[in-house]
Amino acid sequence: MGKISQRKQQSLKEPPSPTRASTAKMAVSDPLPDATSGPATSAEIASLMNLMQEMATDVASIQTNIADMRGSLESLGQRVSGAESKMGRLGAVTDDHEARLIRVEGELAHQTRYAGELWDRVQDLENRSRRNNIRVIGVPEGVEGNGVSGPTMLLSILRDCLPLGESDPIEVEQAHRILGPRPAPDQRPRPIITRLLRFQDREHILRLAREAGELYWRGGKIMIFPDMSRELAAQRKRFTPARRRCMELGLRYGLRYPAVLQVMVDGRLHRFEDPEEALKELNGIPDQNHQRGSPQP
């Protein structure tokens, strides 16, 4: 009994020796080192626990960031939806503005054409109101004195410069210098605008002035031109190269109202409203004077 009790006590004190299977199972499931390395294993476990805590903190932060991103995406989606709805309304407003712009452009084109027609009418009325006028250039300043009126003085100038007979019934309604300050003695005198009673008298005076070439009065040269607006004068001046070409070719020409060049070529009358076209056509005509001087083949 004493031996048996000693064996029981010994069995209670000493654990049973593990078998091979249980030893292998423990080796696989518990890779921890043996009892001699116990302190190092505790440090590694603590390090792993800290790492896991940091990972848990990072995961929580990532989850928070994902939640914020979801909120931002939802807000962005709402803003995109609002922008799309606004774009739809903006597209409708844009279409309305384009339609209004097209209508305004059409009205502007119409008003531009109408303004051009009105301007042409104004120019025509202004120049027709001057159809009995002539412009005399070169008369010295201060000759209107001694109680002589402007029409009387100008009629005497015309009779002195042009071959007008005493029986020619030329009547001058008005004669005055253009408005402006009186020029200095060394400057060009102001032109005199003269209004004749009849249009035929104006044409007769202009024809005599063209035939005379150069006119002189009291030792000074004077010139007589038809009176017209500044715009029409600039438009007619553009035909100057074509007119010079007509004189070089010895062609008969005339500048008709308002600005139409008529040229007689080989018995045919040509009309030109474009100065460049007129000069191009005239440059294509051979020079008769040059042909006569060239030797015959």
Domain boundaries, given as residue ranges, for the chain: 50-128, 131-227, 229-286
Question: In the prediction, which pLDDT does 147 show?
Answer: 65
Tell me which of 3.40.1280.10, 3.30.250.20, 3.90.1200.10, 3.40.1350.10 is the CATH number of domain 229-286: 3.30.250.20
* Mean pLDDT for the chain overall: 81
Say if CB 197 and CB 131 are below 8 A apart: no
CATH fold group of domain 131-227: Alpha-Beta Plaits (3.30.70)
Say if CB 272 and CB 281 are below 8 A apart: yes
pLDDT, one tens digit per residue, over 24-73 is: 344 444 444 444 444 558 888 888 888 888 888 888 889 888 888 888 88
Across 64-93, average pLDDT: 82
**Percentage of residues in the chain with pLDDT exceeding 70?**
81
* Alpha-carbon span 13 to 7, nearest angstrom: 10
Question: In the prediction, which pLDDT does 87 show?
Answer: 77
Residue 286: pLDDT band by 50, 70, 90 thresholds?
Answer: confident
